[in-house]
Structure 1
Amino acid sequence: MRIEGVSKLFGSFQAVRDVSLTVSKGEVFALLGGSGCGKTTLLRMLAGFEEPSAGRIFLDGRDMAGVPPWSRPVHMMFQSYALFPHMTVAKNIAYGLKHESIGKDERAARVREMLDLVQLAPFADRKPHQISGGQRQRVALARALARQPKLLLLDEPLAALDKKLREHTQFELMSIQARTGVTFIVVTHDQEEAMTLADRIAVMDKGQVRQIGSPTEIYEFPNSRFVAGFIGSITAFEARATGRDGGNLLLDVPALGGRVAARDVPAVIEGQPLTLALRPEKLRISKDRPAGANAFEGLVKDLAYFGKDSLYRIVLPSGVLVAAHAVNARRGDEGARVADWDDRVWLSFDPAAAIVLAE
């Protein structure tokens, strides 16, 4: 799938702005963004439900302009699943093959294959209301895959599931995609879902693609303050480049009380205003001052226990609140915590953990 300069206008409102990207065969590609960012509009243009106001969409080198949805080798799986309540699981899957030019025996074989693929053969004669939400999701997926599309579009595919079931189903989806080799484009607002499912992610905002990359690239090397804040959590500080030392970029960060050493960014020049972003899990908390330049004292204002880890909100002398995570590696009561409310602690981080942003 190749998208070239695609835009979409609804009256005077521009829902999608000059989007260009390429999705490779067999890839799982995620369109990630908040409500109203244009990701679903872009998906609907790929499916043929909307026509671009400008730009072109190609599938296997063929221009999709003017090609209706039913003539595209594309299937869209809707957020609601859109299952027929009066049909059995097997008949719901078979419905997608109704207009295919295949014989009755081949159709039945295809349905059995899909039931086995999504592990629902024992539920073939049940109605949608007689199976769980996760199973209904797999029925919708089987129906979509039964037509053997080149491209499967999934619009918030796991939004209707609870947290634990959603986590389990993410891995099922990955397994099914790997076995079929069908190209998936997934629309989601859930950062964890995109990071788990996708080979690459396009982060969208106000109709534009802000960054495209692997989950690691997007998380560890965001190209803007927006992307850094949208993917995961950060504490952002105003900073200014002051020089270089030993392969590190030196920054003046008033909120942290002075000089900070960060991974060097070659394009940055001395005196340039920047943003320093720190992720909570990259910060270390200790009662004693650690060695190294990047160490700052503060007071524990808030503490939240999540079981596997704890979140500390620490106020610095400048008044800035910094969030930090600490893994609860030991089993025990409150005595196992790194610190408690109103404790004075030190925060520190490695230069490589600091994210330096020019925009």
Structure 2
Amino acid sequence: MAAFPGAQLPQTSVKAPPFIRIEHVTKRFGTFTAVSDVTLEIQKGEIFSLLGGSGCGKTTLLRVLAGFEAPTEGRVFIDGQDMTDLPPYERPVNMMFQSYALFPHMTVEKNVAYGLKHEDMTGAQRAERVREMLDLVQLTEFAQRKPHQISGGQRQRVALARALAKQPKLLLLDEPLAALDKKLREHTQFELMEIQEKTGTTFIVVTHDQEEAMTLSSRLAVMDKGRIMQIGTATDVYEYPNSRFVAGFIGSINFFEATVRTTGAETAEVEVPDLGGNVTARAIPGLAPGQPITLAVRPEKVHLARKRHDLPNTFPGTVQSLAYFGKDSLYRIVLPSGHVMLVNSVNARRAGEHERVADWEDAVFLSFDPAAAILLKD
């Protein structure tokens, strides 16, 4: 069978030695294991995100890196130096907290300067560093204001300037944008990326927000129950999830129980009862005929039409309901088996200029490319 785009898993090779190396780190609190045997390498200059739900262990791992928690087992290295037993103040690390922790009685300028008071610097050097940081975050004109006199996004930038003023090798950010509204959060993500690029500081971001992690990160790690489930770029993790958990955690997805019928070097054919037929999908290693497996398809990868077209993996259905979100619409399609499939359709034209792709109770056909069909063994 001819090859199709995406037939091969993405391959990456990193030649530089890791800037941060976490070796078999476990952290227990009594009988509870918050972090379980985590091994991780992060390169210098990366924005690396730890992504997961509440209680997955991401913040505990961040605190181990900062030195606020000692690992029960394992070692932590930063820039080739073993930091495991060093206290926070002896590590080349700074941390920006979710609450920002600004001093309300101090001006913006004094908040940024606070962390430099014990540095071996002259007053002129300290003032110059503060000026550089305020220029970096574009807050020079607000230097004499107090935190309550500036916006939430500006307070976030003050906290970032204060954290960067000591020129740490590593900056840890714990849910840095959680307090901002959606539009401001989206705007600030790009500001953070620009600031990181200018300074070259390695950022590790803890977040539960999937879109935030995918936007910010050069790479990300998905965590669950103290373990790292997958590490990769946003594209790797979204398009090539290694488990049902990761596929379901990152974005919306449709799952179907299936059975392998045939398998080749690039594609496999699986039987999917809920779809009422066979599906051609991108093959993964280790498949065997008769093997039970999960088929996953992202809603935006599904083509929706009123008429049947000569496309692969085409199945009939009926529109049960739909929701209009402006830029796209979400359709809930009932298959003949009774299974409901989600389909996203982009609203490329202004409403009223064209007929909707489908309407309530319309008979439709769903199709998706073999490259969009994800097979999951776990």
Same-fold call, TM > 0.5? yes
- Cα distance in 1, alignment partners of residues 55 and 289 from structure 2: 38
Task: Say whether 1:210 aligns with 2:229.
Answer: yes
Match in the other structure for 1:222? 241
- Cα distance in 2, alignment partners of residues 222 and 353 from structure 1: 12
Q: Is the contact between residue 98 and residue 179 of structure 2 (CA under 8 Å) also seen in structure 1?
A: yes
Secondary structure (helix, strand or coil) at the match of 2:116 reads coil
- Following superposition, the deviation at residue 63 of structure 1 comes to 1.1
Q: 2:49 aligns with which of 16, 30, 34?
A: 30
Q: Is the contact between residue 264 and residue 283 of structure 2 (CA under 8 Å) also seen in structure 1?
A: no
Stretch of structure 1 that moved more, 290-299 or 159-168: 290-299
Match in the other structure for 1:319? 338
- Following superposition, the deviation at residue 292 of structure 1 comes to 3.1
- Cα distance in 2, alignment partners of residues 143 and 211 from structure 1: 32
Give the alignment's Cα RMSD to 1 decimal. 1.1
Q: 1:134 aligns with which of 153, 159, 162?
A: 153
Q: 2:308 aligns with which of 279, 286, 289?
A: 289
User: TM-score under structure 1 normalisation?
Assistant: 0.98
Q: Is the contact between residue 328 and residue 336 of structure 1 (CA under 8 Å) also seen in structure 2?
A: no
Paired letter, 1:173: L
Unaligned segments of structure 2, at least 5 residues? 1-19
Paired letter, 2:225: K
Aligned length in residues: 359
- Cα distance in 2, alignment partners of residues 247 and 148 from structure 1: 49
- 1:246 to 1:43, Cα distance in 2 relative to 1, 3 A: closer
Task: Say whether 1:182 aligns with 2:220.
Answer: no
- Cα distance in 1, alignment partners of residues 90 and 216 from structure 2: 28
Task: Say whether 1:164 aligns with 2:183.
Answer: yes
Task: Say whether 1:53 aligns with 2:44.
Answer: no
Unaligned segments of structure 1, at least 5 residues? none
Match in the other structure for 1:258? 277
Q: Deviations over 1:108-151 (max 9, x none)?
A: 00000000000000000000000000000000000000000000
Alignment of 1:85-96 (within 5 A): 85-96=104-115
Match in the other structure for 1:105? 124
Paired letter, 1:278: V
Paired letter, 2:133: M
Paired letter, 1:276: L
Match in the other structure for 1:154? 173
Alignment of 1:75-94 (within 5 A): 75-94=94-113
- Cα distance in 2, alignment partners of residues 153 and 30 from structure 1: 10
- Following superposition, the deviation at residue 333 of structure 1 comes to 2.8
- Cα distance in 2, alignment partners of residues 83 and 244 from structure 1: 59
- 1:48 to 1:245, Cα distance in 2 relative to 1, 3 A: closer
Match in the other structure for 1:42? 61
Alignment of 1:320-339 (within 5 A): 320-333=339-352, 336-339=355-358
Match in the other structure for 2:4? none
Identical-residue share of aligned pairs (%): 69
Match in the other structure for 1:279? 298
Q: 1:232 aligns with which of 251, 259, 268?
A: 251
- Following superposition, the deviation at residue 334 of structure 1 comes to 8.7
Q: Is the contact between residue 88 and residue 124 of structure 1 (CA under 8 Å) also seen in structure 2?
A: yes
- Following superposition, the deviation at residue 246 of structure 1 comes to 8.9
User: TM-score under structure 2 normalisation?
Assistant: 0.93
Paired letter, 1:116: D
- Following superposition, the deviation at residue 65 of structure 1 comes to 2.2
- Cα distance in 2, alignment partners of residues 259 and 205 from structure 1: 33
Task: Say whether 1:244 aligns with 2:228.
Answer: no
Stretch of structure 1 that moved more, 105-114 or 293-302: 293-302
